[in-house]
Each structure stands twice: as C-alpha cells, then as structure tokens.
Amino acid sequence: MEGGILMTTDAILFFLLLYWSGRLLFYDIRALTEERKPGGRDVLYRGLWSLCSLLFWENMVVAGLLTGMHLLMVMADSFTHIRGKSLTTFILHNLALGLALMLLRMFPADMSAWFAANPLAAVWDFLRERIWRGTPPVQKASLWLAALTAMLYTVKEATILIRLVLNTVRATPVHKDHPEKQDTAEYERGRLIGILERLLFYVMVLFNQPGAIAIVVAIKSLARFKDLDNRPFAEYFLIGSLLSLATAAAPALIVRLLFF
C-alpha cells in the first residue's frame, strides 16, 4: 500500500473488505428480507465506517476515493429498493458494487504527482509492525487481505442471499401446529447453523480439504434425519444446505485460483 500507487489489487480488496465489514456490523438484513426501512443510526454508522480508509492509506487521493465510493454505495443500498422484489434489489445492489469496483480500477495506476501524505496512516504502520514484525511480502499481504474479505462474504452477504432465495421459492420452515405460519425460531437457528457451516466449508476448501465437507454434511443430516420426513422442512433443509455450500466454496475457490 505505497503512497504513489493508486488503485492496485490491494485497494480493490480493501474496498470490498470495507463494504462487507460495514454491512456485517451495521446492516440489518430485515431491510431486504422483510422490506423494512433502514435505521438512520445504521446508515450513519456505515457512513462513519467509510473513514477507516484514512487509517490505512498513505495517499490521501486513494483514501478519499475509497471513502467517497463507499459512501455512495452505502446510500445506494440503503435507499434503493424495488417493492416486492427483494432478491432483484439485492442483485441490483451487487451490480452497483461491481460497477463501483470497475470505476475504481479505471483510475491510473501511478498518480504520484497527486500524492499527499496522510498522517493517520501511521495506524497501519503500527499494526503492520506488530503483526508482521516489519513489512510483509506483497503476495502474502494480498493473500491475507483476499482471504479475510472472502470470509466476510460468507458470513453476512451469503446469509442475505440464501434468505432471499428461500423466501422467493417459499422454502422456509413452517410451524408444526400452525402450518400457515413460518417457524421463526427454527429459521433463526438455521441462520446461525448456516453461518458456522459456511465458515467450516470456506476453510476446508481454502486449505484444499473438500473431503472433510462430506463429514460436516453427514453430521448435519443425521441431526435432522427425523425432520426430513416433513416435506416442507426437507425442501428448506436441502435448498439451504446446497446454497450454503455454494456460497462458501465459490469465494474460497476464487482466492485459491488467484493466489495459490
């Protein structure tokens, strides 16, 4: 992350990390899954989270562009919704994120003439000294940044995507005593299990241990074996499990293809 270099791969990865970590900490998924209005406090916190760029980039132009683009994305995914089409809205938000990445990537790679020292970037230097005991090799630093960014995706973004797909195809768990109602408690347990499951899948694929995934799937299936006689639950279980595997394996494979 040198001062005279602008939109490198690390800058793009950092922008994704900034965006997904802000959503992980401050974004209420019910804004999409239940079409609720985003809380003003959450939007404010995500806006302030944009300032993290100032702590890690020596070049003020880089920090300013990352901060500004992140603020635009916060506004876009907070206030742009298509009523009754939450999955479509989520897809549009991700297309907007892809456009933001392309725009950032279009800036020249060397803008040393624009360089302006950022005194707050000393925070990154301090952390780097404590973590790496010096300056880490470029490839190793990029690998860690990519691995962390991809892991964040599996926690919150994958949860949102899976919830929206399940809601769209109406494959959510129903209450045993009231089949017309959704079993909210079971749905929330499934969300927590799914997050832990995806983290395991992600690590297994990242470290090239796909065979271990079968063990996790087998244990999960045994724990829910009796419930699989219930067709609505079986559909919810199978669709959710397959989506969970896909949304954990895909980012892990991308990291492996780029850095291994």
Mind spelling out the 3-state secondary structure of 177-230?
Answer: CCCCCECHHHHHHHHHHHHHHHHHHHHHHHCCCCHHHHHHHHHHHHHCCHHHHC
Does 17 or 57 have the greater pLDDT score? Answer: 17
Tens of pLDDT, residue by residue over 28-84, are 998 998 888 888 899 999 999 998 888 877 777 788 889 999 999 999 999 999 988
Report the interhelical angle of 9-26 vs 138-152 (nearest 10°). Answer: 30
pTM: 0.86
Name every residue whose Cβ is closer than 8 Å to that of residue 57 and which is 6 or more positions away in sequence: 1, 11, 14, 63, 66, 118, 121, 124
Sign for the CA dihedral angle at 55, 60, 65, 71 comes to positive
Predicted confidence at residue 245, as pLDDT, reads 93
Predicted confidence at residue 91, as pLDDT, reads 95
Across the chain, what does the average pLDDT equal? 84
User: Residue 133 gets which letter from DSSP?
Assistant: S
Predicted confidence at residue 112, as pLDDT, reads 46
Tens of pLDDT, residue by residue over 74-125, are 999 999 999 889 999 999 999 999 999 998 888 765 544 444 566 666 666 6
Predicted confidence at residue 72, as pLDDT, reads 95
Percent of the residues in the chain that have a pLDDT greater than 70, as a whole number: 85
Alpha-carbon gap, residue 249 to 255, rounded angstroms = 10
| Among the listed residues 48, 47, 105, the one whose alpha carbon sits nearest the alpha carbon of residue 76 | 47
Domain locations along the chain: 9-134, 149-259
Predicted confidence at residue 99, as pLDDT, reads 94
